[in-house]
Each structure stands twice: as structure tokens, then as C-alpha cells.
Amino acid sequence: MNVDSIQNGVVIDHITAGRGMRLYALLGLDELDCSVAIIKNVVSVKMGRKDIIKIDADIPVNFDVIGYVDPAATVNIIREGSLVEKRTIGLPPVLTNVIRCRNPRCITSVERGLDHVFRLTDAHQGIYRCIYCETKAN
Amino acid sequence: MRSLINILDLSTREIDELIETANDIISHPEKYAEACRNRILATLFFEPSTRTRLSFESAMYGLGGRVISVSGESGSSVTKGESIADTARTVSCYADIIAMRHPKEGAPYVASLNSTVPVINAGDGGHNHPTQTLADLLTIQREKGRFENLTVGFCGDLKFGRTVHSLITAMSRYPGVRFVLISPEELKVPSYVKKDVLAKKNIPFLQTTDMEAVMPELDILYMTRVQKERFFNEEDYLRLKDSYILDPKKLANARADLSILHPLPRVNEISVAVDSDPRACYFKQVRNGRYIRMALIMKLLKEAEA
């Protein structure tokens, strides 16, 4: 299967197979007008299988979202057909308005205009907790 | 601006200092009678409370200060849709310090982010209740003379009992402490307390449903009420509410120097026959709560001035 290379845009590579769609949804890529390709289950020497997302526009991407969904993913910025930046992400220490607290008793369930903020409390296990009620993120 | 939202906002040294001040207030209340003269405490209680609100108000009066208060959502602008953030900003203009209770977890933290005066968490849902923990710690210190090398039993609703979570967190900072967690299966301590507090620090703990079997091991028995207001389903509450009832018979195998604590109010979980037992400390705990809140109000106001 072939997907054309892009001239100006973003390639999110080394996504753990199966996480591409979640990343697509959380990054809000469905709202873009440009071409976006999700390539699932690509054969990878290093990973066995992986997902790749190609965005055919030079748009800012939320690195916190990528780091949260898949800290091992890499982000490649392409300009005029060349790779100008390659970034590995890792787990972000704080997530703001990336996910919502699911605790119905949390103040975020009723307070207007309040950011949903989660803090990385266990980097080893990748556990995030709501800063208000300490409920663990899914 | 320094607030008290979680007991871990205070170092063990600061807790020791608060306890020292509280003990001095107990011995020499007259020394502190004007300590907060012309200062105003606002008590914002968006959830029913008798003892905590009265304890804060009595503490402020004991320091020569004054109190303004809101009790229940029906008496506040919250019913008009005002946010916690706006309420905190507004009340900061009227008071020097705020004590807030709210049914939503994290509400006092949101208030502290928006207030220009110190905010004290007076209980946020099933989450934290740090001033009750300070009262518990003062009681333990006065009864046992130490925090180290104690076996502390918690019994009842350990899932929603915010006082339990706060006291486990606070006591886990002292060496040689061991916990015995007695509850029905449905009301066990939440996993985050076990993983983030107990497992992380390698603190020994035992989970059991059998109170009598572990009674001889305990230096402290912290009883809790199964709280109706924390259940979405009344059927579950009715099934679980009388899981444990402490009576003189169950104390037969307990140590002579056991200290029985309870954050109160009690319903059925401690028989009134236990009240006359010298090991019952729960009414001393109420008294201690007032004195430790006096010490805390003084500390936070002093720090806000600095």
C-alpha cells in the first residue's frame, strides 16, 4: 500500500499498533480540511507492527496529547519535502484539557470554565491523577 | 498565599509545631484570647455540618476574632449559579481567612487558586479533611505521646471516609507505623491510597473483615460511620450501615491502653456503653479539634501577613 509523501506537514510515526485512531480523535484531526492519512498495522522491524499518521499541512500539534496516548511515538516535521525536526515525546508531566475527570463527585463536573488538569504521579506506570480529586485517569 | 487543602501541605515539623501550640493553648487559653482580634473568619459550608463548622467558629471566637458564615447551598449565591472561583474571590474581600466545606471533591482547592486570603479545606466530599486529621493527630499525641511504632486500626467505611484517607496519609510519614484496615468488601480503602501511600513507602498493612480477630493487636482503633450521603444507592447503604458495631464485648480482647477514636457524628457503630470506658477518646478528640484549629488559624494568618 502506498501513501504519497508530503511536502509540508507532520508525520506521527512509531505509534503503538492500535493507538492511531485514539490519537486521531484526541488530536481533533477529524476537524481538519487538509488530507490526513491513518495507516494502521504497518510492518516495522523495530516494533513488529505500528500505526502512522500523516497530516498534509504544517499545523501545530499538541505534543502533550501524543505523549499521553503513546510516549514512544515520534513526531516528524516536514517542510518543502525535507525533514526539519524529529521529536520524541515521552510522558508529559501535566495534561491540561486533554482528558476529562470521570469522577462524578469531582468539582470539574460542575464548575464552569475550569480546566481539566491531570498530573503524572507515577512515571514508571504512566499514571495520571486529577489535580482536584486525585482520581486516576483511564 | 498559603492554604491548607491536603494534610501533606504541612510538613511533619509544622504539624509538631501546631501540636505544640495547641497544647500550649489548652494549658494557657488566656494567652491567646486576643491573638486574632479584628480578624474575620468566613465559614462557607455547602454541605451539612455541625461540629466542624462550630469548631471553626468557636476556635476563632477563642482567639478574639469574628466570624461570618454561609451554611448550605440554599443560603448562598451558589443557587444562582455562582462558581466556586467567583465565590472565593468575593468572600476574600470580606474575610481574612476562609474555611470551606463542599460536597464536590477539589472545591476548596479551586477556591484557594482564586482567593486572596488563606483557604482551609473543612472537608471536600469523600476526599480530604485535613483539620480532622490534625485533631486526630493531636489526640494521638496526647494519648500515646508519640506517632512512631503504633498499630493503627481503621474500621467501617474506609472507601468514602475522607478522615481515614487523610489520617493514613499523615501517619504513613512516621516510622514503625502499621495499619489494620477493617471493612466490608464493598467499603475497602481505595486503591490509590494502597498503591500511592502504603505500597510506595513499603508500609505494612493488613486488610480484614474480622474486627474481633485483630483487636488485640491495636494501639489505636479509629471507628468511622458508614455515610449515607456518599451512596448513590440507598439499598447499598442499608445493607452496609451496621457492618461493625463496637461494644464492650468486642473490646474484651483489646489492650488496656487502646485509644478509641471516631471523627463523629456516630450513629450505631459505637455502642453508648463504650462511652464510659476510659479508652474512649472521641469526645476528647472534639475538644482537641477546636484547639488545633486555633493553632492553624493563627499560623495561616501569620504567614499571610508576612
Per-residue pLDDT tens digits for B184-230 = 888 899 887 888 889 989 999 999 999 999 999 999 999 998 876 66
Task: Tell me the percentage of chain B whose pLDDT exceeds 90.
Answer: 77
Helix B162-171 × helix B130-144 angle, to 10° = 50
Strand partners, A117: A96
Please indicate, yes or no, if residue A21 is contained in any of the structural domains: yes
| A60 shares its domain with A99 | no
Q: Which of A112, A113, A132 sits opposite B105 (nearest CB)?
A: A132
Q: Chain-wide mean pLDDT for chain A? A: 92
| Model pLDDT, residue B72 | 67
Sign of the C-alpha dihedral computed for residues A65, A71, A72 and A75 taken in this order: positive
CB within 8 A of A86, min separation 6: which ones? A74, A75, A76, A77
Q: Which residue of A has its CA nearest to B85?
A: A111
Looking at the predicted structure, is the pLDDT value of residue B233 above 90?
no
| Model pLDDT, residue B80 | 62
pLDDT confidence bin for B71, thresholds 50/70/90: confident
CA–CA separation, B18 and B264 (whole Å): 22
pLDDT in tens, B258-291: 999 999 989 889 999 999 999 999 999 999 999 9
Average pLDDT over residues B134-138: 98
pLDDT in tens, B110-124: 999 999 999 999 999
Please indicate, yes or no, if residue A84 is contained in any of the structural domains: yes
Q: Chain-wide mean pLDDT for chain B? A: 92
CATH number for the domain spanning A20: value is 3.30.70.140
Please indicate, yes or no, if residue A137 is contained in any of the structural domains: no
| Model pLDDT, residue B229 | 62
User: Nearest C-alpha of chain B: how many angstroms from A126?
Assistant: 13
Q: Do A107 and B84 count as a contact with CB atoms less than 8 A apart?
A: yes
Residue-range domain boundaries for chain B:
7-128+289-305, 130-285
Q: Is A6 on the interface with B (CB under 8 A)?
A: no
Please indicate, yes or no, if residue A39 is contained in any of the structural domains: yes
Strand partners, B44: B70, B100
Q: Do A107 and B196 count as a contact with CB atoms less than 8 A apart?
A: no
| Model pLDDT, residue B145 | 96
Q: Is A134 on the interface with B (CB under 8 A)?
A: yes
Q: Which residue has the higher pLDDT, B235 or A83?
A: A83
pLDDT confidence bin for A5, thresholds 50/70/90: confident
Query: In Å, how far are B81, B229, B300 from B47, measured between CA atoms?
Result: 16, 10, 24
CB < 8 Å to A136, chain B: 191-192
Model's pTM, two decimal places? Answer: 0.87
Looking at the predicted structure, is the pLDDT value of residue B96 above 60?
yes
| Model pLDDT, residue B78 | 62
State the total domains in chain A: 2
| A38 shares its domain with A61 | yes
CA–CA separation, B167 and B222 (whole Å): 10
B7-128+289-305: CATH class: alpha beta
Q: Does the ipTM surpass 0.95? A: no
Residues in chain A: 138
Q: Is B160 on the interface with A (CB under 8 A)?
A: no
Pick from A127, A133, A136: which is nearest to A93 by CA? A127
pLDDT confidence bin for B74, thresholds 50/70/90: low
| A81 shares its domain with A108 | no
Q: Do B104 and A106 count as a contact with CB atoms less than 8 A apart?
A: yes
| A17 shares its domain with A83 | yes
> Is B130-285 in the same CATH topology as B7-128+289-305?
yes
Query: In Å, how far are B152, B153, B161, B185 from B171, measured between CA atoms?
Result: 9, 12, 16, 23
Average pLDDT over residues A64-93: 93
Peptide bond into B265 cis (omega under 30): yes
Q: Do A105 and B105 count as a contact with CB atoms less than 8 A apart?
A: yes
Superfamily of domain B130-285: Aspartate/ornithine carbamoyltransferase (3.40.50.1370)
| A14 shares its domain with A35 | yes
Q: What is the domain extent for residue A100?
A: 94-130
Q: Do A121 and B196 count as a contact with CB atoms less than 8 A apart?
A: yes
Tell me which of B73, B79, B105 to substitute to probe the interface with A (most A C-beta atoms closer than 10 Å).
Answer: B105
| A74 shares its domain with A126 | no
| Model pLDDT, residue B50 | 84
The answer to whether A6 and A56 have CB atoms below 8 angstroms apart is yes
